[in-house]
Amino acid sequence: KERTFIAVKPDGVQRGLVSDIIGRFEKRGYKLVGLKLLVPSKALANEHYADLSSKPFFKGLVDYMTNGKAPVVGMVWEGPSVIKQGRVMLGATDPKAAGPGTIRGDYCLSIGRNICHGSDSAESAEKEIGLWFGGKGEV
Ligand code: ATP
């Protein structure tokens, strides 16, 4: 069964978008198999975004995810093509390019505050579920 890691980032939590985002996945027919509210540690955020460590925005991104002004909602969703379809439902990484009807296309404009995260491949889904939920066995 295919699984993906979807997160509502602190800006999405702060703006009250958690129920909308969960609702979209539920109504689509996906199954919620893991859910937690947490302020991630720096170590977790650094590892989650390890691929971006050389980018100029990396430090700001990790700080934003971990500063505790609002928590993150980490989720594991299960169902057919959920990795690819989850990304479609999120919309383009840069919200300025995200279409209407997607989460980012409906609710944001700034790439630095793009509300949500979704695994981009089977490999990253496995890595991220392990990181955020301590291994597949937990969910
Ligand atoms: P995500 O993993 O969040 O779904 P992504 O995999 O589509 O996004 P990446 O290029 O891996 O995109 O970027 C990860 C995150 O880094 C983005 O969601 C965004 O929050 C942040 N980010 C990317 N580019 C920028 C930028 N130019 N300025 C600020 N933040 C950025």
How does pLDDT run across 107-117, given as a tens digit for each residue? 999 999 999 99
Encode pLDDT of 21-71 as tens digits. Answer: 999 999 999 999 999 999 999 999 999 999 999 999 999 999 999 999 999
HEC string for the chain: CCEEEEEECHHHHHCCCHHHHHHHHHHHCCEEEEEEEECCCHHHHHHHCHHHCCCCCHHHHHHHHHCCCCCEEEEEEECCCHHHHHHHHHCCCCHHHCCCCCHHHHHCCCHHHCCEEECCCHHHHHHHHHHHHCCHHHC
Q: What is the pLDDT of residue 14?
A: 98
Residue 138 confidence class, pLDDT cut points 50, 70, 90? low
Q: What is the pLDDT of residue 23?
A: 99
Report whether pLDDT(94) > 80. Answer: yes
Choose, from 6, 117, 119, 128, the residue flagged as catalytic.
Answer: 117
Ligand 1 center to residue 28 CA distance, Å?
25
* Terminal alpha carbon distance of the chain: 13
Distance CA 17, CA 23 (A): 10
Q: Is residue 117 annotated as part of the catalytic site, yes or no? A: yes
Report whether pLDDT(121) > 60. Answer: yes
Q: What is the pLDDT of residue 25?
A: 99
Nearest in space to 128 (alpha carbons), one of 68, 139, 109: 139
Residue 135 confidence class, pLDDT cut points 50, 70, 90? low
Ligand 1 center to residue 114 CA distance, Å?
8
Binding site for ATP: what residues are annotated? 9, 57, 87, 93, 104, 114
The crossing angle, in degrees rounded to 10, of helices 82-90 and 18-28 is: 140
Q: What is the pLDDT of residue 19?
A: 98
- pTM exceeds cut of 0.90: yes
7 contacts 72 by C-beta, under 8 angstroms: yes
Nearest in space to 127 (alpha carbons), one of 12, 1, 5: 5
